[in-house]
Structure 1
Amino acid sequence: MNDRFDVIIVGARVAGSSLAIQLGKLGKTVLILDKNSFPSDTLSTHHMSHVDYLKKLGVLDKVESKGLRQINRMRTYIGQSFVEGPRSSYTIIPKRDHLDHILLEEAERYEGVSFQPSTTVRNLLWEGDKVVGVSVDHKLGSSSYYGDLVVGADGKYSNVAKWAAAEKYHNQGALRPVLYGYYEGVEPLAEPVTEIFLHEGRIGFLFPMEQGRDCLGLEVHPDEFKTMMKDPQAHFESMYKQLYGMERRLAGASLQGKIIGTSGMPNFFRQAYGKGWALLGDAGHSKDPSTGLGINDAFMQAFLLAESIELYEEGESWEEVMRIFQEKRDAQLLPGFQLTLNYIQSLRSWTSNEMALFQAMAANPMVWNKLVPKIADHLKEDSDDIPLLHQSIELEAVQFGFEKERREE
């Protein structure tokens, strides 16, 4: 294998592979490195609320060929009440072994793109203060590869970020443990719907995947995690059956594989670039999965970085195009980041009056449909006073299915 490339990408999942596809289209020589072989699964919300990214990359048909259900609605339960609304575009919920593998195969179709699995990157190579490559261990021994740019798409605990001393900011740490599993035979609703359950300060998720298979998830209180992991399936199912209607719907269901858990996802932004290096996906920005934005964020960053690399090739300065990349990345991700943190923290502070008001509204859709547009209009009039709440309303219009057009009627 050649040891010199235009771009070396550390990490072959959504962020890394989608960047490689775009660089392949530009005729770049690209080496993708990953410690895993593919197809392989990973912890994920799976929620793809913007399929336009897959269309632009030319892989939507292949991703949907697995028989994924198209989700057009979202339902949110609080206690024993719920509200439901249509989405402006459909969602799909693929398993990551399927999605990541298709993206990687598409990247490898380009003559200049190569992939090396089961490879551990040991360090960055430097010339002075500039990164010029990576040293790796693989099945045949050790090697060094050189590139004009090294991209860390190696996740929230990114080694590339650590070796490059990328500064963190807006750092909140992990807030909530998360557990999930894949189930067959969950009693379906009449129409497939993304379901969010808010119950006793916990968050439940039900994501319809292919016909007959669903991804079930729980965000629990931090002090519950250790006990749950002693017998994860029993504790998970016991807790999940407390959610609205789920005791009946889980009666004939069976777990595929095992329950997977983590003590929490860190919440931060990182410095996005330096001399000869850049960060992408969770390496550059991570947040709690409760709002299901992670996969879409990874695609968005990959498209922004590809655009910046193309501008650099056209003669713009590296510092300028990457400064703009970081500014655009942060401007697009910060509202969702703030919403996510507020969303998590607010779950513990619902008063009995607020719960009663929500349940009354949920029980009367006419009241809900009249009230929500008035809230949005009021926020627009006074947006200087409460900008974050306004951002939250707008983001929820996209994420939870209450269409902006309905609010403005």
Structure 2
Amino acid sequence: MSTTYDILVVGGRVAGASTAMLLARAGARVALVERSAYGSDTVSTHGLMRAGVLQLSRWGLLDTLTAAGTPPIRETTFHYSDREAQQITIRAKGGVGALYAPRRQVLDRILVDAAADAGADVRHRTAVTTLLRDESGRVAGARVQDRAGRTADLLASLTIGADGIRSAVASAVDASVVRRGESRSAILYRYYAGLRTAGYEWAYAPGAGAGFLPTNEELTCVFVATTPARMQALGREEAFATLLTETGLAERVFSAEPASRLHGWAGAAGFIRQSWGPGWALVGDAGYYKDPITTHGMTDGLRDAELLTDAILRSPLAQYQATRDQLSHRFFDATESVASYAWSMDEVRLLLREVSSAMGDEVEHLQSLPSALLQAPGAGL
């Protein structure tokens, strides 16, 4: 059995669900397939930066996020082991009055529901088994299988891989790596109840990072980060306590109530892949992944969903990659340096200023995109 669409999106998390929603709003016939269950959690850094909040606001979804109990974050505090903390107020600008750190079962569900409301055919617990190709070798869709073992051919003019850093779509089309990083963080995180924090808090000490992110259900996500070698040498619980102590956050954390088990990420080197070809494109971590220490992965996914949609509707796909890379290279370089943990305290402060500057560039670009087109269905392809 086969069904024909304009667009097939493989992967229904932040980048994939956003892309499916935007294209469906523009009048495309879209199928969205996702391996996991609807509303399921996943490993995440949680934090949305200004560009990510801007996207949700422009798409009309920010009110839904706040109605789900996601607390507004109106200040950020930077803790350094060699000097006093620095507190920065999140100023209202460009329609963004606060930042947010939603749980993934909240954000992903909002985006998937928005895609379905726009007319996308959403299929959870469905995996791609193989890509389909036409006589010329161009990608022409995919064969999928659900949990019951039923298969179907989903034919499409464009197949978009939004299926993460180990993307099956990227592997099937042999997408080349344009840039490859070397640094990687090992990260541990746990949720706590009763941990008082006014907003985002980031902490740095030689060879260590940590932070607080207030999230849904009145919980705070507490993370620590260091090199994989040091994390492995210490062991999970010892590393969590040691790194919190080094960064000066331990006393506050251990006076609060743990509300989850300890989650972990062993780390992976960043990369920028070739992200388009005959009948295919990549978005989100499938095409561009950088270390999570700068807490920008979800924002990247929301940003690149709109960059890709804009290119599909208005310009060659090559323009999507060119714009994405232009907005990403400086951020990628700074993140690589932070994730090396080889910096001095003066150096990490300079790197964080570089990260902030790169964030400003992407906000400026996103504000220039035609939001009216992306909010109104029926434009067609």
The interval holding the TM-score normalised by the smaller chain is: 0.7 to 0.9
- State percent identity of aligned pairs: 26
Q: Is 2:209–2:243's contact at 8 Å kept on the other side of the alignment?
A: no
Distance 1:247 1:305, change over 3 A: closer
Give the superposition deviation at 1:254: 2.6
Distance 1:254 1:308, change over 3 A: same
In the other structure, the counterpart of 1:316 is none
Cα RMSD of the aligned pairs, angstroms, is 2.5
In the other structure, the counterpart of 1:348 is 342
Question: TM-score of the superposition, structure 2-length normalised?
Answer: 0.85
Distance 1:396 1:7, change over 3 A: closer
CA distance in 1, matches of 2:221, 2:254: 16
1:45 to 2:53 alignment: no
Moved more, 65-74 or 198-207: 65-74
1:67 counterpart SS class: coil
CA distance in 1, matches of 2:90, 2:322: 29
Question: TM-score of the superposition, structure 1-length normalised?
Answer: 0.80
CA distance in 1, matches of 2:214, 2:226: 21
> What pairs up with 1:118-129 in 2 under 5 angstroms?
118-127=125-134, 128-129=136-137
Distance 1:396 1:304, change over 3 A: closer
Alignment partner for residue 260 of structure 2, among 236, 257, 262? Answer: 257
CA distance in 2, matches of 1:389, 1:105: 35
Moved more, 210-219 or 296-305: 210-219
CA distance in 2, matches of 1:97, 1:55: 19
Alignment partner for residue 176 of structure 1, among 164, 171, 185? Answer: 185
Q: Is 1:173–1:268's contact at 8 Å kept on the other side of the alignment?
A: no
1:219 to 2:225 alignment: yes
1:282 counterpart SS class: helix
1:250 counterpart SS class: helix
Q: Which structure is higher in RCO with an 8 Å CA cutoff and minimum separation 6?
A: 2
Give the superposition deviation at 1:193: 2.2
Equivalent AA in structure 2 for residue 268 of structure 1: F
CA offset digits 1:14-55 (Å, max 9, x no partner): 111111111111111111111101101112111112211111
CA distance in 1, matches of 2:276, 2:299: 21
Q: Following TM superposition, where does structure 1 have runs of at least 4 consecutive aligned residues deviating by more than 6 angstroms?
A: 396-399
The structure that has the greater radius of gyration is 1
Give the superposition deviation at 1:71: 1.4
Equivalent AA in structure 2 for residue 225 of structure 1: M
Give the superposition deviation at 1:265: 3.0
Q: Is 1:21–1:57's contact at 8 Å kept on the other side of the alignment?
A: no
> What pairs up with 1:241-390 in 2 under 5 angstroms?
241-244=245-248, 246-311=249-314, 321-345=316-340, 347-350=341-344, 354=346
CA offset digits 1:337-394 (Å, max 9, x no partner): 111112233x42427xx59xx8xxxxxxxxxxxxx9xxxxxxxxxxxxxxx9995562
Alignment partner for residue 110 of structure 1, among 114, 118, 123? Answer: 118
CA distance in 2, matches of 1:396, 1:107: 26
Give the superposition deviation at 1:293: 1.4
CA distance in 1, matches of 2:242, 2:177: 38
Alignment partner for residue 67 of structure 1, among 54, 66, 69? Answer: 69
Give the superposition deviation at 1:238: 4.7
Equivalent AA in structure 2 for residue 67 of structure 1: G
In the other structure, the counterpart of 2:31 is 31
CA distance in 1, matches of 2:132, 2:267: 32
Moved more, 168-177 or 21-30: 168-177
CA offset digits 1:91-123 (Å, max 9, x no partner): 111001100001101110123x11111111111
Distance 1:164 1:54, change over 3 A: same
> What pairs up with 1:89-100 in 2 under 5 angstroms?
89=92, 90-100=98-108
CA distance in 2, matches of 1:141, 1:107: 23
Count of residues paired in the alignment = 351
Structure 2 residues not aligned, in runs of 5+: 93-97, 363-381
Equivalent AA in structure 2 for residue 348 of structure 1: A
CA distance in 2, matches of 1:256, 1:233: 15
Structure 1 residues not aligned, in runs of 5+: 313-320, 359-371, 373-387, 400-409
Equivalent AA in structure 2 for residue 395 of structure 1: A
1:149 counterpart SS class: strand
In the other structure, the counterpart of 2:244 is 240
In the other structure, the counterpart of 1:369 is none
Q: Is 1:124–1:134's contact at 8 Å kept on the other side of the alignment?
A: yes
Q: Is 2:327–2:358's contact at 8 Å kept on the other side of the alignment?
A: no
CA distance in 2, matches of 1:226, 1:74: 30
In the other structure, the counterpart of 2:204 is 198
In the other structure, the counterpart of 1:85 is 88
Give the superposition deviation at 1:225: 2.9
Distance 1:285 1:132, change over 3 A: same
Distance 1:85 1:310, change over 3 A: same
CA distance in 2, matches of 1:211, 1:283: 30
1:12 counterpart SS class: coil
Q: Is 1:23–1:306's contact at 8 Å kept on the other side of the alignment?
A: yes
CA distance in 2, matches of 1:389, 1:20: 33
Give the superposition deviation at 1:211: 6.3
Q: Is 1:15–1:281's contact at 8 Å kept on the other side of the alignment?
A: yes
Equivalent AA in structure 1 for residue 122 of structure 2: F
In the other structure, the counterpart of 2:376 is none
Distance 1:2 1:110, change over 3 A: farther
